[in-house]
Amino acid sequence: MKVDVVRNILEANDAVAAELNARLTAKGILTLNLMSSPGSGKTTLLERTLTDLKHEFCMAVIEGDCQTENDARRVAATGAQAIQINTDGGCHLDGAMVREACAKLKLDEVDILVIENVGNLVCPAEFSVGEDYKVTILSVTEGDDKPEKYPFIFAQSQVMILNKIDLLPYVNFSVERASSFACAVNPAIQIFPLSATTGQGMDAWYAWLRTERDKKRL
């Protein structure tokens, strides 16, 4: 019986997420579901991306956190549209939450929508939120075995960002090992080693965003 309840919840969410994705696609919006554990650098990556690409794209961000509006304020300071969702302890966003937040955005002005999910390597991967792509950030301070220990989120993601590579000389982390574990669960995953703090490797991430945004215009 519990299996049926879980299945029904996921199926209902998938229906909402599919309807939302269709609406966003009709507007030509590239939508990303940005996931990671807490402290991986999601918001720092967003701040740099929004700042560097603000003359190319109109971007909006939906921020998911258990409490506070700290990240939304940081994002809004770049000039991007920002909406905060507080889950009051919930471990992930879902399609209905994001649909409600989208109603508060000026979507006709948006080229790229980023949904910064709650910091968690388990629950967010279970729930679609209307995204085109799931993007998971792994920072080098977390350990290179995370894709082996938390395989589902990496199996579901189309992109893995290896953040904080400027710290590689100071931590016990192997890019090759982390990449190997990720590719073992998802051979098609694209991997971008970068540092959102120093800017190293960001050009490859930006090139991917441009390519995927261009596809939405076709």
Residues 87 and 85: their CA atoms lie apart, in Å, by: 6
- In tens, the pLDDT along 16-61 reads 999 999 999 999 999 999 999 999 999 999 999 999 999 999 999 9
What is the full DSSP assignment across 152-216?
HHHHH-SEEEEE-GGGGGGS---HHHHHHHHHHH-TT-EEEE--TTT-TTHHHHHHHHHHHHHHH
Domain that holds residue 68: 2-213
pLDDT at res. 4: 61
pLDDT tens string 150-208? 999 999 999 999 999 999 999 999 999 999 999 999 999 999 999 999 999 999 999 99
pLDDT of residue 87: 79
The CATH code of the domain that includes 51 is: 3.40.50.300
Total count of domains within the chain? 1
pLDDT number for residue 31: 98
Task: Say if 218 falls within a structural domain.
Answer: no
| Residue 19 located in a structural domain | yes
